[in-house]
Amino acid sequence: MDNRQVAARVEELLARMTLEEKAAQMVQIPYPFVGREESLRWAKMGAGSFLHVLGDEAREVQRVAIEESRLGIPVIFGIDAIHGHGLNDHATIFPTQLAAACSWNPDVAYAMGEVTAREVATDGLHWTFSPVLCLGRDTRWGRVNETFGEDPYLAGEMGAAIIKGYQGEDLSDDERILACAKHYIGYGEAVGARDSCDTEMTYRKLREVFLPPFKKAVDAGVASIMTAYGSIDGLPFTIDPISLKDILRGELGFDGFVVTDWDNVNSLVRRQHVCETAEEASVLAANAGNDMIMTSTEFYQAVLNAVRGGQVKEEVLDDAVRHILTIKLRMNLFEKPEKKGRPGCFGCEEHLEKAKDAADRSIVLLSNNGVLPLRGVKKVAVIGPNADDIRAQYGDWTYFTHPRLNMEHEPIRPYVTVKEGVENLCAARSVECVYHRGCSVLDGEYEDIAGAVETARDADAIVLVVGDVIPQVGEEKDRAVLELSGRQMELFDALRALGVPVVTVLVASKPLAVGRAATQADAFVCAFNGGMFGGEAVAKAVFGEINPSGRLPISFPRASGQVPVYYNHLPGWHCQAGKGYCDLAAGPLYAFGEGMGYSPFVYSDLAFDRETFKASVKVTNAGERPGTETVQAYFNDVVSSVITPVRQLIAFKQATLAPGESAVVEFALSREDFSLINRKEQRVTEPGEFVLMIGHSSRDEDLLKTSFRL
């Protein structure tokens, strides 16, 4: 069906729908919460969508919707398939978005999207609530793991790629599903990182920092957008017509449908206290431009009353239903209500290979005094609470880690923890490998530091795996203290005292304030939540089977109190202007863009043509192993009408080079890349002086610079 045929079919259907059917089409039912009977009743009434229901239960809902509702409009099933179709036991689990963002490689994001879509579609489902395009700037926030990190440019590139992976070229493709860019907008900017209603935001800031990834998502054709829990200047985003209508539809040209987040309509009454009744909340939500209402089923009756009472025009419902039906028709749902997917694809070789590749590329080596890659060792000790904890390695949103879902399940193979990965590689090299947990991540669960020390005493190297665990991760799990919890630091100190080289590995949902566990270790490896093969990737990096190429998409704080500590801050931010807090060294412990491999890269010959906006730089692999460098381009507007960031990423490219090999890496930039949002909220490039900086990371000393005037 072409666009004209779709539009005609939508109008024809709309004309036949009663007011009740329109209201029902706008409601999304949480199956596990309302139960089977109630769900089937909603299906008969013509509810537009259901979430968190799989398999035969979903099939039954669909059958009832098609056969027993008056118009037989098929429902769409949505699920949180966030880093793989994780709520299905047999799915391929990828690194979290944050870990995947360490690859700085949109092809990795595309592959995650493609594989996840195929597995979700094979379950007969249509829609994932992914990607998260919020930024992880205040890392106390529990959901940092779901973001692509702190930077709008990188998040936008990775986001657009995963969306294309989910959706493909054609929404009717049996192996593709709808994506949902969320949470629109600024959710991560919750004050004090306290999830979730109060956000420090202005429209100018929104446009400058938080909108760019959503613009890329819309340009990539994202079919749906989810609103955020937060607020702007006292107005919850769910009822903000400026961001939802003027900006999203008007300026960005979004043509999919908008879904609220979980129970947002009721939250207007119960949590945000801007409405007295569900009816009042429903009026505001409908009029602001929400098309589908997640879980607040009160909306149905409330909006009917409101239309009858004249507070909401029926055309508002028409518009919402039009957006939903257009997507349903573009998906060809009426002909094929159930996606076929690719039977047998769960955990198939191709999918597992892609998860392995993503895990390998997400390993970030942050320090190394030469101990890595391990050579000539006879005995390796793997120690630490996260060395053999697959739950911690998976992170949030899988079938056995998400608290709202089914925690009871046991993890299903294949997966490889760090302990198993190191054991396997040791076995292949006839190296002895010993393991001890040492302590738990949370206080008081388990502790045998002395035992761990004994185990490691005569080893030639220690791989110590620290981090966080599920009770510290996710929604409503914001942390005030980012330092290593429990007795993990004591464990490090005790091992350090042995005099055996210590490689510290972080398996965690976000940058923790790792302190001396990193700086006093012989090497520090950041793995975040690497998914099924995260542990294997760590082992491969440790033994040099891969040359680590990950770069940080997010800054590491020196202490909790230094957060937020993102790189693209405004000038005058004392903690990075060289002075820092009076009781802490300045700048992050590890900076955005940072990461090393076993080959150093040397930069030279930065050139920029101010007429064509072409930039180039020469990069040389000065090491002895082939390696991949991520060449990063930043700019600064030296004097601007509003305060602009000390630097902002505008492009990056990867180059894989043989030892001694050089390449000239070119960037086709544009005038708009050097723009800002002015006080009138317009995106403009102001005349004056600019600095273009290209190099290895966001650190000043890693960048070559050239100034020019526009």
**Cβ proximity of 423 and 470 under 8 Å:** no
The least CB distance from residue 127 to ligand BGC, in Å, is: 11
Please, what is the end-to-end C-alpha distance for the chain in angstroms?
48
Nearer to ligand BGC, 23 or 181 (CB): 181
Bridge partners (DSSP) of residue 523 are 368, 503
Quote the tokens at residue 269.
């009454």
The least CB distance from residue 589 to ligand BGC, in Å, is: 29
Nearer to ligand BGC, 311 or 401 (CB): 401
Q: Residue from 129, 141, 148, 492 that binds ligand BGC (CB under 6 A)?
A: 129
Angular region, 84: left φ>0, alpha ψ -120 to 50, beta rest: left
**Type and span of the H or E element at 227:** strand 224-227
Q: How far apart are CA 404 and CA 590, in angstroms?
A: 33
Instruction: Write the DSSP symbol of residue 30.
Output: E
State phi, psi for 543 to the nearest 5 degrees.
-90, 5
Find the binding residues for ligand BGC in span 216-245 (CB under 6 A): none
The least CB distance from residue 129 to ligand BGC, in Å, is: 3
Question: Which candidate in 261, 357, 396, 637 is catalytic?
Answer: 261
Q: Residue from 47, 58, 75, 80 that binds ligand BGC (CB under 6 A)?
A: 80
The CA-CA-CA angle for residues 572, 576, 578, to 5°, reads: 95
Q: How far apart are CA 585 and CA 506, in angstroms?
A: 22
Quote the tokens at residue 197.
């209603």
Quote the tokens at residue 200.
């420090």
Q: Does the active-site annotation cover 458?
A: no
Q: How far apart are CA 652 and CA 665, in angstroms?
A: 10
Nearer to ligand BGC, 167 or 440 (CB): 167
Binding-site size for ligand BGC (CB under 6 A) equals 6
Where do runs of H (alpha helix) occur along 468-542?
Answer: 488-496, 516-519, 534-542
Quote the tokens at residue 272.
């945000």
**Type and span of the H or E element at 106:** helix 106-122
Q: How far apart are CA 350 and CA 343, in angstroms?
A: 13
Nearer to ligand BGC, 127 or 608 (CB): 127
Quote the tokens at residue 687.
């005349």
The least CB distance from residue 36 to ligand BGC, in Å, is: 19
Task: Please count the other Cβ atoms lying within 10 Å of the Cβ belonging to residue 569.
Answer: 18
State phi, psi for 575 to the nearest 5 degrees.
-70, -15
Nearer to ligand BGC, 127 or 567 (CB): 127
Report in angstroms the alpha-carbon separations of 628 from 347, 575, 699: 28, 32, 19
The least CB distance from residue 143 to ligand BGC, in Å, is: 8
The least CB distance from residue 145 to ligand BGC, in Å, is: 12
Nearer to ligand BGC, 423 or 475 (CB): 475
Residue with tokens 């390796």: 380
Q: How far apart are CA 56 and CA 245, in angstroms?
A: 38
State phi, psi for 648 to the nearest 5 degrees.
-140, 130
The least CB distance from residue 515 to ligand BGC, in Å, is: 31
Does 77 participate in binding ligand BGC (rule CB under 6 A)? no
* Residue 453 burial class via C-beta count within 10 angstroms: exposed 0-12, middle 13-18, buried 19 and up: buried
Residue with tokens 């539809």: 249
Q: Which of 534, 539, 540 is nearest to 415 (CA)?
A: 534
Q: Residue from 151, 261, 357, 389 that binds ligand BGC (CB under 6 A)?
A: 261
Nearer to ligand BGC, 153 or 184 (CB): 184
Nearer to ligand BGC, 203 or 262 (CB): 262
Find the binding residues for ligand BGC in span 142-201 (CB under 6 A): 182
Nearer to ligand BGC, 261 or 594 (CB): 261
The least CB distance from residue 224 to ligand BGC, in Å, is: 11
Report in angstroms the alpha-carbon separations of 66 from 45, 47, 77, 334: 11, 11, 14, 9
Quote the tokens at residue 669.
């930039």
Nearer to ligand BGC, 150 or 261 (CB): 261
The least CB distance from residue 259 to ligand BGC, in Å, is: 9
Q: Which of 353, 365, 356 is nearest to 548 (CA)?
A: 365
- What's the one-letter identity of residue 332? N
DSSP string, 141-173: STTGGGSS-S-HHHHHHHHHHHHHHHH-S-TT-
Per-residue contact string for residues 452-481; x = within reach of ligand BGC by CB under 6 A: -----------------------x------
**Cβ proximity of 406 and 400 under 8 Å:** yes
**Type and span of the H or E element at 650:** strand 648-657
Does 262 participate in binding ligand BGC (rule CB under 6 A)? yes
Does 397 participate in binding ligand BGC (rule CB under 6 A)? no
The least CB distance from residue 22 to ligand BGC, in Å, is: 23
The least CB distance from residue 86 to ligand BGC, in Å, is: 12
**Cβ proximity of 180 and 78 under 8 Å:** yes
Quote the tokens at residue 408.
């009871």
Q: How far apart are CA 243 and CA 274, in angstroms?
A: 18
Nearer to ligand BGC, 80 or 298 (CB): 80
Instruction: Write the DSSP symbol of residue 570.
Output: P
Nearer to ligand BGC, 80 or 175 (CB): 80
The least CB distance from residue 132 to ligand BGC, in Å, is: 7
Catalytic residues: 261
| Residues at the site binding ligand BGC, with contacts judged by CB under 6 A | 80, 129, 182, 261-262, 475
